[in-house]
Amino acid sequence: MTQNRYLTDAIPSPCYVCDEALLERNLKLMQRVQQESGADIILALKGFSMWSTFPLVREYLQGCTASSVWEAKLAAFEFGREVHAYAPGYKAKEIDELLPLVNHISFNSLGQWQRYREQVAAAGVSAGLRVNPEHQEAETELYDPSAPGSRLGIRAADLADADLTSIEGLHVHNLCECDSYALERTLQAVESKFGQLLKQMKWLNLGGGHLMTREGYDVEHLIAQLKRLRETYDLQVILEPGSAVAWQTGPLIAEVVDIVENDGPIAILDISATAHMPDVLEMPYRPTITDAKEPGVLAHTYKLGGNSCLAGDVIGLYSFAEPLQPGSRIIFEDMMHYTMVKTTFFNGVEHPSIGILRRDGRFDLVRSFTYEDFRNRLS
């Protein structure tokens, strides 16, 4: 990224900016994976649901996966291709709403599937079960579906005597921003525990966490794994990445509001870690800032803090070549995935606008937020 590309008067602060050219770059790589492996890639809305980009995304991906009725509606009404659904549990009224919208639905337990199996069959929707390979690859426990005691997925031992008549697929998800070698190890566990079942299935959904658009990812190895799996079991293989679609496709633009002193200078920004990029606190991770480095490397070091009353609303220590002052712009890179989908109106802090930097260099402000948006969240 270059600084000047995003520092333009056309872009307000705060603002999430999706760079259309970078998004299409990722989509073209995914198109290649689909063409060479025979697998299908769908968009996981839980990671990226910026529906103003859907006209571009649907040129390359086969559909969306939804974790709720509302996400399924977004997929059906705004994306308009295949809709796959999985949730830890469904209420009866949710099934009534989902079945007219979806092509595939995966259940988290035998009990849920048995409760709704006749209804699903009557709707002509392909039914699957989420299974737990009991194989861990995610580095952070918060994001590890295969951690001991997980509520997500059915273990092989619990399927031993089950009647799976009319189950057409299995759903596996245990990765989080992982490489293709983590997928290979996962597939070894899946085939060891569920290999006989795979021979009976029409499809296998490998979930998300396949960070194929990250620099250094072995795409050839991924393609080989998917192709082998598809040919060995004569299956439709489905991947549903969220982060990989929007990886490195645009920043969050922020602005310094004030500088305060307490054992060093603290820059108060017009954004909030807890409200606008919560993975900074949850994961946790350190965002990359354009033209900033580790503390002490450049001449001026600041602690960057959010504009909420949460004491821990702190992004971290960064150094800059020039001193910051009110009005200075900060570019937080790679802020398209798992940010907008998690934002809140905590404290009534101004919610960042949403825009698209078009391939021809034009900036389109597609959404700004108002007091009424804040008010209407509650009653």
Dihedral pair phi/psi, residue 126, rounded to 5°: -75, 125
Q: Which two tokens stand for residue 115?
A: 């409760």
> How far out from the chain centre does Cα 356 lie?
18
pLDDT in tens, 88-137: 999 999 999 999 999 999 999 999 999 999 999 999 999 999 999 999 99
Q: Which residue has the tokens 């990359």?
A: 288
pTM, two decimals, is 0.95
| DSSP assigned state of 143 | G
Quickly name the fold that domain 247-377 has: Lyase, Ornithine Decarboxylase; Chain A, domain 1 (2.40.37)
Which of 87-105 are b and which e, b meaning 16 or more Cβ less than 10 Å from the residue's Cβ? beebeeebbeebbebbebb
Euclidean distance between CA atoms 107 and 212, whole angstroms: 27
Euclidean distance between CA atoms 131 and 107, whole angstroms: 9
Euclidean distance between CA atoms 1 and 13, whole angstroms: 18
What value does the mean pLDDT take over residues 336-355? 97
pLDDT in tens, 195-250: 999 999 999 999 999 999 999 999 999 999 999 999 999 999 999 999 999 999 99
Burial class (CB in 10 A: 0-12, 13-18, 19+), 288: middle
Confidence grade of residue 1 (pLDDT, cut at 50, 70, 90)? very low
Three-class DSSP category at 80 = coil
Domain ranges, ordered by start, for the chain? 20-245, 247-377
Q: Which CATH superfamily is domain 20-245 in?
A: Alanine racemase (3.20.20.10)
Q: What is the pLDDT of residue 3?
A: 47
Q: What is the pLDDT of residue 2?
A: 43
What residues have CB less than 8 Å from 344, skipping those under 6 apart?
274, 275, 278
Answer whether 20-245 and 247-377 agree in fold: no
Burial class (CB in 10 A: 0-12, 13-18, 19+), 134: middle
- Note whether 269 and 255 are within 8 A (CB): yes
- The amino acid that residue 50 corresponds to is M
What value does the mean pLDDT take over residues 182-191? 97
Give the angle subtended at the CA of 262 by the CAs of 261 and 266, to the nearest 5°: 55
Give the angle subtended at the CA of 308 by the CAs of 302 and 313, to the nearest 5°: 50
Q: Is 158 annotated as a binding residue?
A: no
Element holding 255 (H helix, E strand): strand 252-261
Three-class DSSP category at 303 = strand
What residues have CB less than 8 Å from 309, skipping those under 6 apart?
347
Confidence grade of residue 4 (pLDDT, cut at 50, 70, 90)? confident
